[in-house]
Amino acid sequence: MRITATLRTAAADQDRRLKARQRALWALGDYHRVATDLLWEFGRELVEACGIYAGQRVLDVAAGTGNVAIRAAERGAQVVASDLTPENFGAGRHEARAHGVNVEWVEADAEALPFDDGEFDVVTSSAGAIFAPHHQAVADQLVRVCRPGGTIGLTTIVPDGLARDLLEIIERYSPPPPPDALSPLLWGSEEHVRELFGDRVESLEMTSTMLLIDRFADPEDLCRFMKANHPLVVGLYEHLADEPARVATLDLDMAEAATRWNRGGPRGPAIYEIEYLVIVARKHDSRQLRDR
Ligand SMILES: C[S@@+](CC[C@H](N)C(=O)[O-])C[C@H]1O[C@@H](n2cnc3c(N)ncnc32)[C@H](O)[C@@H]1O
């Protein structure tokens, strides 16, 4: 009995340390710049796919600086934006004000959301909750806080492409995660996602969509941008600061991936077609289940 309790406490401590590290990581660099320069279209796309409309209660999980949350609020929804990293809320508040909308910002781990069961009509997360290490816990929380018959919408990274390669490089050079921590890349597998939600959803649609990035002069320009701004890349270079040989191979690996996926010509600009998945699930309406 006492051994089980000790193991549980050790696991909880390990998880707290992991989350503290992840929070510190996502506060590095300039996430808002990454979001607005590269990922801003995802927010519009996800709000459209979920059919969000005025008056709905929407929760955006791992909301970053409000990519989805702000677009949902622009449609007249009442929106809560939650994230592990409140350091980025300042940029989000600023962006929301610039769009003339109100969003409530709440610090929260996607694996332990501080909201009531069924509190929201729509629960979204764009390339966000996939970064929490325990996927089943995340899926359970998204389903729990969504009302019966409500909508859960996610964007995730496909198992092939530049985003996948960059994430794979980041994982390869980072300190090893705890054994029970899963890679965000798994959310690109339809089988994995269906298993996570199981029969708690009555439908689950996964649509592949393309994002075109043509703002970089060449692959080196993309690598420079990522090294200066992307929290996980900034964190990786900080972590390797005393290992110049590994920094050199990391530089080469990033440049190789950025060059391989460039669809632009030799005179530039670099052109990247980033494929991603939009997932829309409808939670079972328990009243309908009872009536069957
Ligand atoms: C790639 S950003 C996406 C942010 C935003 N959804 C967007 O589209 O711009 C990943 C976000 O996940 C958040 N995150 C990572 N682990 C988390 C966790 N366990 N719980 C909640 N948020 C988490 C990070 O703080 C970061 O804001």
Per-residue pLDDT tens over the stretch 94-150: 999 999 999 999 999 999 999 999 999 999 999 999 999 999 999 999 999 999 999
> Helix crossing, 67-74 with 40-50: angle to 10°?
50
- State in Å: Cα 129 to ligand 1 middle: 6
Higher per-residue confidence, 9 vs 232:
232
Span 259-283, mean pLDDT? 94
pLDDT value of position 116: 98
Pocket test for ligand 1, best of 36, 109, 131, 138 (most atoms within 8 A of CB): 131
What pLDDT band is residue 157 in, cutting at 50, 70 and 90? confident
What is the residue whose two structure tokens read 């969509």? 209
What pLDDT was estimated at residue 4?
A: 75
**Contact 139 CB / ligand 1 (< 6 Å):** no
Looking at residue 288, its pLDDT comes to 57
3-class DSSP string for 19-68: HHHHHHHHCCCCHHHHHHHHHHHHHHHHHHHHCCCCCCEEEEECCCCCHH
Asked whether the CA dihedral 239, 243, 246, 251 is positive or negative, the reply is positive
Indicate if ligand 1 lies below 6 Å from the C-beta of 128: yes
Residues 5-24 have pLDDT tens digits of 777 787 788 889 999 999 99
